[in-house]
Structure 1
Amino acid sequence: MEKRRITQETFDAAVKENMEEFEMDPDEALREAVEQFVSQGVNLYCIVKAVPAVSGDDKQEEPTHEVLQVLNSLRTGKDSAGLKEVTADIKRFTELCSLGFAQRYLAAQKYAYPIILSYCKKSVEEQEAVLTTLFALAALTDGQPDLLDAEGQQFLLNVLKEHKADTSVMRAAICTVRHCCLKHEQNRQNLVKGGILPLLTGAITQHSGCAELIKEAAAGLRFMTFDDDVRVTFGNAHEHAKIIVLEHNGLKILVDAAKAHFDNTSVLSELCATLSRLAVRNEFCQDICDLGGLKLIMTLLANSYEKPELVRQVLSAIRAVAGNDDVKDAVVDSGGVELIVIAMNKHMNNSAVCEHGCACLSVLALRKPNNCKVIMEYGGVLAAVQAMKTHKDSVNVQKQACMVMRNLVGRMSELSKPILEMGAEDLITQALRTHQDCGDVGKAALRDLGCEVELRELWTGKHGSLTN
């Protein structure tokens, strides 16, 4: 059941009452108000948990939160003050919004967006000013993509077009674009229609030596392929990925960028993550391989298996491109199975690495008996079994490990015995008891391993009541 919500005014009134009626000091009054509302089942995520204060020396002024004090100052100077006069206030507003979601939510409730956007539009001719205002817009829209309107979309597109030579401005603008596209399908579609994709790929090409901009632009492309807006039944994630690849040469641009920054772990991690989002068709997987992307990914895994975050992204990319059967063989032939198992064993306590490692082994084994033999030979099943033992509370690890075992025996039933001797049956049974989401894949794994399993027949196809 969803928790109750209150307004900032209600929370502030409770703090004030504690101070005036019960003579508590400010810290005690604040702590008491938080405990009171939490005990009543109130969600305080959007509430600024601080004592309002009077700004300056004006004791007649009503106490309010600092983010609103700064916003009021910006509102007052919106039509009269020049950008230089309000620069300090804009920077302070950015700092306050960056403190947490509650501060920027409160600012948005008091109409901060049109005020900040008006300063953004005033600043477009001056590099330092546009950077300052873009940082403020990025901070305000973080977690609040609904704020962006058509005027804001056009402003961001214009900045990316007019400041192509300025990597700092480009990064700030793309960061804002990312914030406005996370969990917001309509913003993604509108920006793609407005021409954001060639601006992002162009930034990577034009500034091939700027690692930070490449990271930001690659992340921007990746966000355009998300399907994370629960308000939309069908998004354009697949279509956007196709456009990036087919119309804007996205695969080659990303692979070339990876080759140029092979010593930069953070850049490579972002590029791998983006490539994995673009491997949505069989031919795209093959293209990544033909462009040298697979060789690069495998070399990266071999050289960087000490770094868990990079390993996770590399495994995600391998999992994506191995959707192509020919690429599966190329991964195995290049020693990929051994590298995956080494990475899993190295980072066995990292659930994300174990999840993606199992997912890779599962994909490589699918419809490929020879690959199954290699996975068995290099200890892939042992790694999956150990992952299940180590991460009993991780439903994703349990599901992916079950898939490994199921795919291994799908066309090689003779592998069932050695897998069962490793304790697979007990682990899968335990996963079924612990995680409801493991039901289908867990039961399928037990069935294909030759174990006894109860499979409910929900409908036989005969006439009559489904409840019989």
Structure 2
Amino acid sequence: MAKRRITQETFDAAVRENMEEFEMDPDEALREAVEQFESQGVDLSCIVKAVPAASSNEKQEEQTHEVLQALDSLRIGKDSASVMEVTADMKSFTEHCSLGFAQRYLAAQKDAYPVILAYCKKSMEEQEAVFTAVSALAALTDGQPDLLDAEGQQFLLNVLKKYKADPSVTCVAICAVRRCCLKHEQNRQDLVKGGILPLLTGAMTQHSARAELVKEASAALRFMTFDDDVRVTFGHAHEHAKMIVLEQNGLKVLVEAAKAHLDNTSVLSELCATLSRLAVRNEFCQDICDLGGLKLIMTLLADSYESPELVRQVLSAIRAIAGNDDVKDAVVNAGGVQLIVIAMNRHMSNCAVCEQGCACLSVLALRKPNNCKVIMENGGALAAVQAMKTHANAVNVQKQACMLMRNLVSRMSNLSQPILELGAEALITQALQTHQDCGDVGKAALRDLGCKVELRELWTGKHGSLTH
């Protein structure tokens, strides 16, 4: 059932009442109001949980939240003041929007977007002013991509064209683009039509030494390949991925950027995540290898054992590019199986690493008897069994491990016995009982391992009484 919602004004009135009627101090009044509404099942995720501050103007009884005070000051000067004259208010607004979604939501409810956009357009000729204005826009639209309109889209594209030599302005403009493209298919399509892709890849190439900018641009490219807007039946995720690769030489841009940041795990992690999203065709997987991407990914896996997040992204990238059968062999020949198993054993307590590790080995084993042999010899099945034991409640770990067992034995029945000796049957049976989602893959694994499987006949198609 949907939770009830209240307005900010209702919440603020309750806090004020607690202070005036019940003489509570501000902190207690706030705590009491939160508890009161939550106990009534009210959703407070969009409510600023703070005591409104006294306004700086004459009317002392006029109390409002700091984000709205900053917005009011900006609104007063919207038609006459330049951005430089309201820099302090603009920075205050940005700061308060960055505190949490509730502050941004409240500002948007009070029509902040047209005010900020007016300053954005006014700031276009001066670097410092444009940086301040775009920062405010990026903060306001975080989690609220619907705010961005055609004017806002055009403004961001113009900023990226005009200030392409300026890394700080470029970085904050790309941040705004990224935020406006999350869960918003229309913004993605409009911006791509407006020419955002060459601006993103161009920024990565031009400012390849700037770690923060490379990360932002890589993330923005990745977001263009998402299909996460529930309001849209069919998105352009696949088309965008193809455009990034074929028209913007995106794979080369990403691989080159990774080579420039070999000592920065957070940048590498981001670049691997984006490469994974672009490996949507057999030939793209091969291209990543030919550009030195596979060698780079293998080096990362060998050198970055300490960072589970980077290991997870690297495994995800291997999983994506190993969809190509030639790449499967290249990964195995480069010692990939050993590295994946070592990574799984090192981070056995990390659910995401175990899931990606099993998935990687599963992809490498598919239709490749020789690879299955290598996976068995290097303890891949044992690592999967251990992962199943360690993460009994993680449905995706269980599914990927079952898939791996099945792929190992589907063309190599002689591997069934050694896998069963590791205790696989009991673990798969347990996964079937615990997780409904494991049904098909679990039963298929048991069947191919030569175990007895109960395949219930759900419906025979015959007429008759439902009672026995």
TM-score, scaled to structure 1:
0.96
User: Is 2:222 the partner of 1:222?
Assistant: yes
* Alpha-carbon distance, 1:374 to partner: 0.8
User: Is 2:370 the partner of 1:370?
Assistant: yes
Q: Give the structure 2 partner of residue 449 of structure 1.
A: 449
Cα separation, 2, equivalents of 1:291 and 1:337: 21
Cα separation, 2, equivalents of 1:459 and 1:182: 43
* Alpha-carbon distance, 1:267 to partner: 2.1
Q: Give the structure 1 partner of residue 161 of structure 2.
A: 161
Which one-letter code corresponds to 2:364 in the other structure? Answer: L
Cα separation, 1, equivalents of 2:355 and 2:346: 14
Asked if structure 1 preserves the Cα contact closer than 8 Å seen for 2:82 and 2:123, the reply is no
* Alpha-carbon distance, 1:85 to partner: 1.8
Quick check: 101-110 or 205-214, which moved more? 205-214
Cα separation, 1, equivalents of 2:69 and 2:163: 32
* Alpha-carbon distance, 1:370 to partner: 0.8
Quick check: 417-426 or 169-178, which moved more? 417-426
User: Is 2:365 the partner of 1:358?
Assistant: no
Change (3 A) 1:56 1:336: same
Q: Give the structure 1 partner of residue 417 of structure 2.
A: 417
Quick check: 429-438 or 105-114, which moved more? 429-438
Q: Which runs of 5+ in 2 are unaligned?
A: none
Q: Give the structure 2 partner of residue 111 of structure 1.
A: 111
Q: Give the structure 2 partner of residue 257 of structure 1.
A: 257
For residues 316-327 of structure 1, what are the structure 2 equivalents within 5 Å? 316-327=316-327
Cα separation, 2, equivalents of 1:414 and 1:177: 54
Change (3 A) 1:421 1:58: farther
Asked if structure 1 preserves the Cα contact closer than 8 Å seen for 2:255 and 2:291, the reply is yes
Asked if structure 1 preserves the Cα contact closer than 8 Å seen for 2:406 and 2:448, the reply is yes
Q: Give the structure 1 partner of residue 192 of structure 2.
A: 192
Which one-letter code corresponds to 1:247 in the other structure? Answer: E
TM-score, scaled to structure 2:
0.96
User: Is 2:174 the partner of 1:174?
Assistant: yes
Which one-letter code corresponds to 1:351 in the other structure? Answer: C
Q: Give the structure 2 partner of residue 25 of structure 1.
A: 25
Aligned residues: 467
* Alpha-carbon distance, 1:62 to partner: 2.1
SS at match of 2:63: coil
Which one-letter code corresponds to 2:430 in the other structure? Answer: Q
* Alpha-carbon distance, 1:430 to partner: 2.2
* Alpha-carbon distance, 1:434 to partner: 2.5
Deviations 1:162-207 (A, max 9, x none): 1110111110000000000011111111111111011111112222
User: Is 2:142 the partner of 1:142?
Assistant: yes
Deviations 1:229-278 (A, max 9, x none): 11111111111001111111111121122223323322222211111110
Identical positions, percent = 83
Change (3 A) 1:456 1:13: farther
Asked if structure 2 preserves the Cα contact closer than 8 Å seen for 1:181 and 1:223, the reply is yes
Cα separation, 2, equivalents of 1:465 and 1:49: 61
* Alpha-carbon distance, 1:448 to partner: 2.1
Which one-letter code corresponds to 2:193 in the other structure? Answer: K
* Alpha-carbon distance, 1:380 to partner: 0.7
Which one-letter code corresponds to 1:237 in the other structure? Answer: A
Cα separation, 2, equivalents of 1:155 and 1:207: 21
Task: Please give the root-mean-square deviation of Cα atoms over the aligned residues, in Å.
Answer: 1.8
* Alpha-carbon distance, 1:88 to partner: 0.3
Deviations 1:121-153 (A, max 9, x none): 111111111111111111111111111110000
Q: Give the structure 1 partner of residue 15 of structure 2.
A: 15
Cα separation, 2, equivalents of 1:169 and 1:185: 25
Cα separation, 2, equivalents of 1:17 and 1:441: 58
Quick check: 386-395 or 102-111, which moved more? 386-395
Cα separation, 2, equivalents of 1:453 and 1:57: 77
Q: Which runs of 5+ in 1 are unaligned?
A: none
Deviations 1:290-331 (A, max 9, x none): 111111111111111222111111111100000001100110
